[in-house]
Amino acid sequence: MTESLFAERCQDFDENFSRIRERMEKAALSCGRNPEDITLLAAVKTVPVELINYALKKGLRVIGENRVQEFLEKYDRLLKDQCECQFIGRLQSNKVKYLIGKVTCIQSVDSLKLAKEISRLSSNAGEVTQALVEVNIGREENKGGILPEALEEFLREAGGLPGIQFKGLMAIPPVCEDQGELCRYFSAMFQYYVDMREKKIDNVSMECLSMGMSSDFEEAIRCGATMVRIGSSLFGKRS
């Protein structure tokens, strides 16, 4: 990145960051929620580490990476003491070893095999890794995630594992025709989140409902999201 392009992207970020925070606040207040109860996670795939570090200096706190390789390439230069890194992409069990001790939370846990590997490697390292269960809310074959009806059984089994602490749910709904359809997916997620909390499953807490991206985060907030994951509206379109 040339210096002038970098300066431009920083300036764009400043504007985007304040606009996004305003919109999040407005969406929260519009449905009687406390804006402080909603965390902004910046989805940083393809974003150069210089720009991420700039964003961190400007007050961004939580970032999410999708790809292990890309995460590792950036990790050494990242201002780690100023941020919390989470993993939000699809994850194969054989790559878990690269993340333990480096990310606080893996949002995309969608199989017992993956949960067991996170548990095993975290325990060996004396770490506890937080996790969210990814729910395949649209029942899409090409997407990861546990089907809603399998959620309780999954949490009962995986919740008992050492070294992994389940904290909530994550979802990426299908592309929707209209707001109403989208809202039904988000609301269904909120209902599962509440249901799972009420089950009081051992070692499982429901504190985080991660849903909503650039195009739909306000709707997600109105439906109960406690975390939104925003990429392109913060850093610009990905090439």
Ligand X SMILES: *Cc1c(COP(=O)(O)O)cnc(C)c1O
List of residues contacting ligand X (CB under 6 A):
43, 45, 66, 88-89, 172, 213-215, 229-233
**Position closest to ligand X via CB:** 231
Rounded to a whole number of angstroms, the CA Rg of the chain reads 18
Indicate the burial class of 97 (C-beta count within 10 angstroms; 0-12, 13-18, 19 or more): middle
Tokens linked to 181 = 């359809």
Residue 162 C-beta: closest distance to ligand X, Å: 27
- Cβ contacts of residue 67 below 8 Å, gap of 6+? 45, 89
Residue 230's Cα: distance from chain center in Å? 9
Q: Which is nearer to ligand X, 104 or 123 (CB)?
A: 104
Residue 216 C-beta: closest distance to ligand X, Å: 9
Q: Which is nearer to ligand X, 120 or 130 (CB)?
A: 130
Residue 236 C-beta: closest distance to ligand X, Å: 10
Give the Cα separation of 184 and 186 in Å (integer).
Answer: 6
Q: Which is nearer to ligand X, 200 or 237 (CB)?
A: 237
Q: Which is nearer to ligand X, 45 or 184 (CB)?
A: 45
Tokens linked to 157 = 């089994």
Residue 62 C-beta: closest distance to ligand X, Å: 12
